Amino acid sequence: MKSIYQALSELEINNESAALCTVTKSQGSTPRHVGSKMLVYPDGKFIGTIGGGDMEHRVLDEAWMALSDGKPRALTYTLVEPKRGDPGVCGGTVEVFVEPILPKPTLVVIGAGHVGKAVVHLAKWLGFRVVVSDDRAEFCNPQAIPEADAYLPLEMGKLTEHLKVTKQTYLVIASRGVALDAAGLPSLLESKAAYIGVIGSKKRWTTTVKVLKGKGVAAELIAKVRSPIGLELEAETPEEIAISILAEVLLIKNQGTGLPMSG
């Protein structure tokens, strides 16, 4: 069986998630002591143990909640009297720290034109895992855009067949027009993406919305899209537009306010 440390290394290599549960304090009689670890995966599997029994089951539940909300938690359990709700009878007290280990956020740039290239460059510098997708293979390759981590030369509508879109995925759609957006967006709107932004003017997006509604796409799904994309910076060049886009992405990712720091 692989060790927890081997498993942690694999998580980073494969850009996957899990929750690390560590006993940080142990007083009196307890099943495991300080340093005991358990690694919990989203699918219900886990490696290691922090003591078994009801206490471990409660920690497993907390670990899955931590993977859902992305927040660590410090847990304390008294193992004395099950009748009052304690998860054991050993007689001691255990503190467990649950740390969600989330994959590096993935930014998917759909459309490998001038703005798309600038977004890839900036997103990579900001620490995102960057995926480029374009239906034109000659624009979607390491020679055309050398900084991406992965390349998917295919139609936008087929993207979810080749890429797992999660709550850690941010979609930047910088395509060539309404027809491509209307054809490709429906499947993306059904995904769990944390952010979906579409480049273009208000008029272009209004036209796209009409086409999507004509296809039967629900209004609540369409409302997930941010278009025109980015923050209002009066941006003009591809590089300035990329900053506007990534500023909005970071606003969503970090739950910022977007207000001036000076007040």
Sheet holding 46-48: strands in order across? 46-48, 37-40, 18-27, 93-101, 73-78
The pLDDT value given to residue 238: 96
- pLDDT < 70 stretches in the chain: 29-31, 79-91
The pLDDT value given to residue 78: 80
Task: Output the furthest CA–CA distance in the chain (Å, rounded).
Answer: 68
The pLDDT value given to residue 83: 52
Q: How far apart are CA 181 and CA 87, in angstroms?
A: 53
Q: How far apart are CA 87 and CA 149, in angstroms?
A: 46
The pLDDT value given to residue 87: 47
Give, as one character, the DSSP assignment of residue 53. H
The pLDDT value given to residue 64: 95
pLDDT tens digits along 62-120:
999 999 888 999 998 886 544 554 445 466 788 999 999 998 899 999 999 999 999 99
pLDDT tens digits along 29-44:
666 789 999 999 999 8
Cβ atoms of 185 and 213 within 8 Å: the answer is no
Report all structural domains of the chain as residue ranges with CATH numbers, in order of start. 4-101 (no CATH), 106-253 (3.40.50.720)
Sheet holding 106-110: strands in order across? 150-152, 129-133, 106-110, 169-173, 195-198, 225-226
